[in-house]
Structure 1
Amino acid sequence: MKRLSLLCCGLLLASPLMAARVEVMHWWTSGGEASAVEVIKQQWRAQGGQWQDFAVSGGGGKSAMAVLRSRALAATPPAAAQIKGSELLEWARLGLLRDLDELAQNQRWDLRLPGFVRSTLSHQGHYVAVPIGIHRVNWLWFNRDVFTRLGLEPPSTWAQLQALAPRLLAAGITPLAIGNDPWQLAILFESIVLGDAGNEFFRRAFINLEPDQLDSPTMVALLQRFKALRPFVPQHFGGLSWNQATGMVMDGSAAMQLMGDWAKGELTQAGLQPGSNIGCLPAPGNAEIFSYNIDSIAMFSVRDPEQQAAQVQLANLLMTPELQILFNQKKGSIPALAGLPMGQFDSCARQSSQALEQAQQGGHLVPSLAEGMATSSYVLQAVTDVLSNFFNDPQQTAEQASHRLRRAMLAAR
C-alpha cells in the first residue's frame, strides 16, 4: 500500500481539473444504479474532468472482481474501482491500493464518518477507500396494492410470511420474488438468521466462525426455514436478476422481495414512490437489527502524476455533502457522511437513517454476510455454494447442509 502524496498535487484543492481523465471500474449497471453513477459523472465533468467508464455487469460484483484481477495481474489497473468490505482489505494486503490518510486528515474523516465506516475502510490503521453510501441489506419490499386487495398484512415474522404465502399463491401471485443467484439466496438466508436467531448468534456463527454454532440445532432450524420458502419463489427463477425480481414486485406479479435498499433505486427510476406504491419494512424479525453494506471507491497505485492528481480530485468530490446526497437519493442508500440532513430523502431512507442510529446505540448493527462485509471472500464463497446447492437440491436435508456449511467455512477461513 502506497501513500498518496497531496504535496505533488496540492493545487487540486483550489483549481479546476484541467481536463484530467480518470478510469473508474464499477458494477452499477441496473437502471437505478446507472442513474446514481451518472450523478458522479456529471459533477466530475462539471469540474472539467474526463470520465472513462469501466462498467462490468453482474449482480454482486463477482464478474467485476474477476476482470479487475486480470487487469491488476497485467499491471494495468484502473485509477479507481468500486471495492468494498473484505475484498477491499484483500486488495490492500497485496499492496496495490493507495494510502488515503493525508486526504482523510485534511478532510477530517475521523470526525465526519461513523466509527463502523472508518473501521471498514481501514487496513492496518490506514484508510484505503472513499465511502459513498450506506445500504441496509435486511429490507422487505412489498406491493401495497396486492396486500390491500387480498386483505393481508405484510409479515413481521418469518412464520407469518410462511402462513400468508399459500393465500398469495392461490391468488396467482408469487409470494417472494428472488433469482437463483447464490448471493441473492445468501441475502435471504442472512435475514432469516437475524430474524429467527438474532444478531448474537449471527456474530458467533458467521463472524467468529465458532464451530459449535455452525453445526448446531439452531443452524439446522434456520436451514429448514430457508428451504421451506422454496415453493414460494418464482417458478422459473433461474437467471432472474435482482432488479428483474424488483420489477415483479412493481408490476404486482410478486408480492414481496427480500433485498437491500438498492432496490429503491429501481423504484425511483420507474417513477414510483418508495414507501408508498411499494412499501418498505425491516425483514421479518429484523426490526431492531441493521445489516449494513458500504459502497466505497478505492484508488490504485499509479505512477502518472496526472492520474495521481485526478484520484485526489475524485476523492474530494466523492466526500462532498452535495454529491453524497444526490448519489444516495438515486442509489437508494443513505450518505456515509454523518449528520447530513435527510429531509430531501424518501420515507424509506429516513427510516433507514433512524434505524441505523438506533442499531448503533443498541448494539444491533451487523456487517452483512451476503454483501461481503462480515467475512473473507473465500468464506463467503463457501457459504453461498452450500446455500445454493441446498436450496436447489430437494433431496438434501438441513442436517446435511449444516455439516457441509461447517466443513466448508472452516476450510475456507
Structure 2
Amino acid sequence: MRRMVAGTLLWLAAAGAHATQTLDVLHWWTSLSERQAANSLAGALATEQLAWRDAAIPGGAGVGAFKVLKSRVLSGHAPDVAQLIGPTIGDWAQLGLLLELDDVADDQDWQDRFFPTIWKLSRYSQHVVAVPVGIHRINNLYYRPEVFAEFGLLPPRNWAEFERVAAQLQRAGITPLAQSGEPWQVATLFETLLLSETGPAFYRRLFRLRDPADWQDIRVRRALERLRSLKRWMPQPVAQRSWDEMARGFARGDAAMWVMGDWARGELNSLGLEVDRHFGCTTVPGTAGMHLYSVDTFAMLSGGYVKLRQQEAFARLAASVPVQLAYNRIKGSVPVRRDIDPAQLDPCSRQSWQTFGRGDAVQAPSIVHRMATDEAMKDAIIAQVYRYFSEDQIPAPEVQRRLAAISRALK
C-alpha cells in the first residue's frame, strides 16, 4: 500500500513538472481502490496538460474533508476542485462560491445524456454547478460463493431466508454478517433496512415532507428492531473498523456476508477478487428492484475565475464516456450517463445501472451519504441510530420519538 501511494505521488509530481497548469483537488478518496480511481481521473487530466495536485483528506463519508474545505475557503485558500455531494452542492452554490458550468453542459448535451435525477442534482437556480462522475448503489449484500456452495445455500431474497442462512452459518462456526461499529457504517446498514421496510416512496417522504408523524410509523420501528436483531449474527464485540479494513477482512473470509455500498466492490476488485468468482453481489433482502444511491460529484470553486479554462476541461473530461467507464470500473460505481453500452459493465454494475435508469419510482437517496437531507439532520439521525445500536436498553419507540422531534425542529 505504501509503495503504491509513493508511486502515485511520484507520478503526480512528474506530471506536474511537465504540465502548464495544476488543479488543486480536495477529496476523501484514500483507500486502495479510491486512489486508483483518482489516478484514472488524474491521467485523463494529463492528456490536457493539466496536473492533478492531490489534497486527499482521510475519513469515512467525507466528514474530515468537509471540515477542511470550510476551513480553506474561510482562510482564502480554496481548492480549485472539491468533492461535494447532494444538497450541500446547493448550499455552496447559494453562497456564490461555485463556478457555473453551463457552457460545458450545453456543449456536451448533459441534459439528454445524464439520467434525469443526475441532471437535477448537478444544477442550482437553473445553472449547472457540479460535474457528477459516478452513481453508487448502497443496498448491496455481498456474500462468499464458496461458503454458500459448501452448505448448499442461496443468497437470501427476504429476511426469513436471511435468518435461516445466518443460523446455518453460525452453527457451522462461521460469522454470518460482517459489520463495523463506526457510526456512519451502522447508519448505512440502517438506511438499507429502512428502505427494505418502507419502499422508495415512503422513504423519500420522510425527507421531502419532513412530517414528524412519519417517523412514528410501524415500518420505521421494524427497521430499528431489525437493526438490533442483526447484532446476533455479527462478530462480538462489533469493533470500530474503517470500511476498507472491513473489505480486507471480508476478502480473508472473516464473514460470509456484508452489507455495504458498491465502493466495497471496487475495493474487493483492487484486492484481486472477482465478482461471481470470489464474491457474489446481490441486493439487501427486501430491496430487489430498488436503488439506494449516492453520487460522486465535483464542484469548481470560482476563486476569481483565474483557472476557468482548466476547471472546464476537468468537467468536460470527467463527464466523457471513456473517462466515465474507466473511473467507475475501478471505483465500483456506475456511469451517470444513460448513453453508454451496458455490455461494458460487469453483471453487478449492469444491474445497478439498469435499476437506477428506471427512475424516481425505484430510487432512494442515501441519508448517510448526503443525498437525502442537510448536514444537521444527517448528523442527528446517525447519532440516534448509533446510540440505539450501541445501547440495548434504549427501546425503538424512544428513538422514533427522538427522530420525530429532530424532524420537527429542523423542518
TM-score when normalising by structure 2: 0.92
Is 1:355 matched up with 2:349?
no
Report the more deviating stretch, 78-87 or 194-203.
194-203
* Structure 1 partner of 2:322: 322
CA contact 1:162–1:229 (8 Å) conserved in 2: no
Residues of 2 paired with 1:345 and 1:199: CA distance? 25
* Structure 2 partner of 1:103: 104
Residues of 2 paired with 1:351 and 1:216: CA distance? 31
What is the CA-CA distance between 1:102 and the residue it aligns to? 2.1
Amino acid at match of 1:84: I
* Structure 2 partner of 1:310: 310
Of residues 381, 406, 409, the one that matches 1:408 is 406
* Structure 2 partner of 1:121: 122
* Structure 1 partner of 2:386: 388
Spell out, residue by residue over 1:365-404, the C-alpha distance to the aligned partner (whole angstroms, 9 max, x if none). Answer: 2222222111111111111010000000011011111111
Gaps of 5+ in 2: 1-17
* Structure 2 partner of 1:399: 397
Q: Indicate the SS of the match to 2:235.
A: coil
Residues of 2 paired with 1:262 and 1:394: CA distance? 30
Is 1:211 matched up with 2:209?
no
* Structure 1 partner of 2:180: 179
Report the more deviating stretch, 197-206 or 258-267.
197-206
Q: CA RMSD in A?
A: 1.7
CA contact 1:158–1:192 (8 Å) conserved in 2: no
Alignment of 1:10-409 (within 5 A): 19-303=20-304, 305=306, 307-357=307-357, 359-360=358-359, 363-409=361-407
Residues of 2 paired with 1:94 and 1:172: CA distance? 55
Residues of 2 paired with 1:118 and 1:364: CA distance? 17
CA contact 2:158–2:286 (8 Å) conserved in 1: yes
Spell out, residue by residue over 1:84-132, the C-alpha distance to the aligned partner (whole angstroms, 9 max, x if none). Answer: 1122122222221111112211221111111100111111221110011
Spell out, residue by residue over 1:277-326, the C-alpha distance to the aligned partner (whole angstroms, 9 max, x if none). Answer: 21011111111211111111100011262x22211111121122111110
CA contact 1:177–1:246 (8 Å) conserved in 2: no
Indicate how the Cα distance of structure 1 residues 233 and 206 shifts in structure 2: closer, same or farther if over 3 A, else same.
farther
Q: Indicate the SS of the match to 2:176.
A: strand
What is the CA-CA distance between 1:252 and the residue it aligns to? 1.5
What is the CA-CA distance between 1:18 and the residue it aligns to? 5.7
CA contact 1:146–1:252 (8 Å) conserved in 2: no
Amino acid at match of 1:88: I
Q: Indicate the SS of the match to 1:76.
A: coil
CA contact 1:382–1:412 (8 Å) conserved in 2: no
CA contact 1:98–1:299 (8 Å) conserved in 2: yes
* Structure 2 partner of 1:9: none
Spell out, residue by residue over 1:189-239, the C-alpha distance to the aligned partner (whole angstroms, 9 max, x if none). Answer: 111121122122212223322222112332222211111112222324332
TM-score when normalising by structure 1: 0.91
Report the more deviating stretch, 209-218 or 375-384.
209-218
Residues of 2 paired with 1:166 and 1:206: CA distance? 35
Q: State the identity as a percent.
A: 35
CA contact 1:96–1:301 (8 Å) conserved in 2: yes
CA contact 1:146–1:255 (8 Å) conserved in 2: yes
Q: Indicate the SS of the match to 1:132.
A: strand
Report the more deviating stretch, 161-170 or 402-411.
161-170
CA contact 2:211–2:407 (8 Å) conserved in 1: no
Residues of 2 paired with 1:53 and 1:18: CA distance? 15
CA contact 2:137–2:262 (8 Å) conserved in 1: yes
What is the CA-CA distance between 1:276 and the residue it aligns to? 2.7
CA contact 1:191–1:283 (8 Å) conserved in 2: yes
Q: Paired residues, what number?
A: 394
Residues of 1 paired with 2:374 and 2:167: CA distance? 38
Residues of 2 paired with 1:337 and 1:197: CA distance? 28
Indicate how the Cα distance of structure 1 residues 54 and 257 shifts in structure 2: closer, same or farther if over 3 A, else same.
same
Residues of 2 paired with 1:343 and 1:153: CA distance? 26
* Structure 1 partner of 2:13: none
Residues of 2 paired with 1:409 and 1:180: CA distance? 25
Indicate how the Cα distance of structure 1 residues 48 and 85 shifts in structure 2: closer, same or farther if over 3 A, else same.
same
Q: Indicate the SS of the match to 2:343.
A: coil
CA contact 2:200–2:361 (8 Å) conserved in 1: no
Indicate how the Cα distance of structure 1 residues 236 and 35 shifts in structure 2: closer, same or farther if over 3 A, else same.
farther
